Amino acid sequence: MKITIASGKGGTGKTTLSTNLTSYLASQNRKVVLADLDVEEPNSAIFLKGKLKTEQVFNKMVPKWDSTDCTLCGKCAEVCNFNAIIDLPNEIRVYPALCHSCYACSELCPTNSLPMTPERIGEICEYDSDNFSLVEGRLDLGQEMAVPLIAGTIDFVDEKFDGYIKLLDAPPGTSCPVIEASRYSDFVFLITESTPFGLNDLRLAVETMRVLKQNFGVIINRYGIGDNGVEEYCQVENIPIVTKVHNDKEVAKLYSKGELIYPKIEHFKNSLDEIVEFIGGIK
Amino acid sequence: MKILFTAKGSEWSSPMDARFGRMEMMVIYDEESDTLEVLPNSETEAMEHGAGLQTAKKVLKHSPDIIITGNGAGGKALDILKTSNVKIFIGAGDMSIKEAYEAYKNGKLTEQL
């Protein structure tokens, strides 16, 4: 079972929910692994204090110009959909940060002047504790392309954690990284807050999930602030509300200290129970 | 001298475009023949990434001696522009093309490259 925790709006509680749910499921002797796919700023490891077990370099494949037989025909730049190759009068320039590793330039080059070569873009770290595992994708500074590393982190988890409940903590937004983090899951939790901002971005996230034909439900966080917009929207759109997590300053205090919430706050634990029960009903 | 302006219109009175990569139009003034050439740059609108690179390549095809713009070219675009001898002057983002030309002539603009 693979479940993605996504949001749309940033700062609605993806990581708080992911880390607490992981620990809570583990405390009930469930086999659980959390993948932190917010590869531009992974921070789940702050809350789930595990021991670093493995650390491996992650490469993506990029073309490298070999001038030997190149005729500067410009086919490579013409077929690149991502502006990663510029053909100048006397040379070909490759911009690896823009490359999506589609191989088009390399395959279509008449003189084989753009062989694909590995380039480091980040690393995948695995942390272990007594009863859960955490796998974290971490993009190197200056790298722009999160998707290959997100895909690589999911592959890593799939290979090593067969039979586990896999929770995927997605990055915010609705663009390619979120889609990559959501498309292969059995279910997606969209966590939002009951404010006009939360609703605006929830709508965008819902549209994205519908394009992906993905099953999803909504978790309302900081319930009690804002207005009824999110609830009304979910009712009209027939979207299940999995739980409402009450707004509580004590939760924020624990979070700011890097502590887990559910061991200390009862209503938060009750919300996790509702989520666990909901997961039990996912086909 | 051929001078290229990053612009939002095609007349001397048109406003400059402060952006390089996503400039709306390239306006090229040839001082010798005293003519203005206007080239739209709208294709960069649809590009998510790499607009600066494409614009820089396009700019070089017209071999200007000087580029006058607002905020300046970004890192990747500069990388391409450096393959030529073109000079870039910045700080004209809020002017009209005419004002930008005069500011350049009076040495009021900063050199980026």
Is the reported ipTM for this assembly greater than 0.85? no
List all residues of chain B from 1 to 60 with a beta carbon under 8 Å from chain A: 47, 49-51, 53-54, 56-57, 60
Flag whether pLDDT at A130 surpasses 90. Answer: no
Burial class (CB in 10 A: 0-12, 13-18, 19+), A137: buried
Q: Mapping DSSP to helix (H, G, I), strand (E, B) and coil, where does residue A183 land?
A: coil
Which of A170, A210, A166, A172 is closest to A186 using CA atoms? A166
- Structural domain count, chain B: 1
Chain A contacts in chain B segment 61-100 (CB below 8 A): 76, 79-80, 83
Task: Give yes or no for a contact between B67 and B87, defined as CB atoms under 8 angstroms apart.
Answer: yes
pLDDT of residue A49: 87
- What residue type is B43 in one-letter code? E
Query: Inter-chain contact B57–A88, Cβ cutoff 8 Å?
Result: yes
B22, B53, B60: best mutation site toward chain A, by most A Cβ within 10 Å?
A: B53
Tracing tokens 């200056």 back to the chain, one arrives at A142
**Which tokens hold the place of B82?**
């450096």
Percentage of chain A with pLDDT > 90? 93
Q: Which pLDDT score, from 0 to 100, does residue A7 have? A: 94
In angstroms, the separation between the Cα of residue A140 and the nearest Cα of chain B is 19
Closest CA to A133 of A187, A52, A15, A188: A52
Chain A residue numbers with beta carbons less than 8 Å from the beta carbon of B60 are 88
Mean pLDDT calculated for residue range A82-98: 92
Given a cut of 90, is residue B78 above it in pLDDT?
yes
pLDDT in tens, A25-72: 999 999 999 999 999 999 999 999 889 999 999 999 999 999 999 999
* Cβ separation A83–B53 shorter than 8 A: yes
pLDDT at A283 over 80: no
Q: Which amino acid is at B94?
A: D
Q: What is the pTM of this model?
A: 0.81
Q: Which residue of chain B is at minimal alpha-carbon distance from A80?
A: B50
A93 inside 8 A of chain B by CB: yes
A2-59+122-280: CATH class = alpha beta
At residue B48 the predicted structure's pLDDT band, cuts being 50, 70 and 90, is confident
Q: Name every chain B residue with its beta carbon within 8 A of the beta carbon of A87.
A: 57
- DSSP 8-state code for residue B96: B
The predicted pLDDT at position B105 comes to 96
Burial of B19 (0-12, 13-18, 19+ CB in 10 A): buried
CATH number for the region A65-114 comes to 3.30.70.20
Q: Where are the domains of chain A?
A: 2-59+122-280, 65-114
Residue B32: which domain range? 2-112
**Tell me, what CATH number does B50's domain have?**
3.30.420.130
Q: Give CA–CA dist A81/A35, Å, rounded.
A: 30
Query: Is residue B9 predicted with pLDDT exceeding 90?
Result: yes
> What is the chain B residue with the closest CA to A144?
B49
Confidence band for A142, pLDDT divided at 50, 70 and 90: confident
User: Residue type for B17, please?
Assistant: D
Contact B50 A88 (CB under 8 A): no
Q: What percent of chain B has pLDDT over 90?
A: 91
Candidates A82, A88, A91; nearest CB to B50: A82
Q: What is the DSSP letter of B66?
A: E
Question: How far, in Å, CA of A206 to CA of A9, rounded?
Answer: 12
Check CB contact of A73 with chain B, cutoff 8 Å. Answer: no
Q: What is the pLDDT of residue B49?
A: 84
Contact indicator for A170, A182 with CB cutoff of 8 Å? yes
Q: How far is A92 from chain B (nearest CA, A)?
A: 11
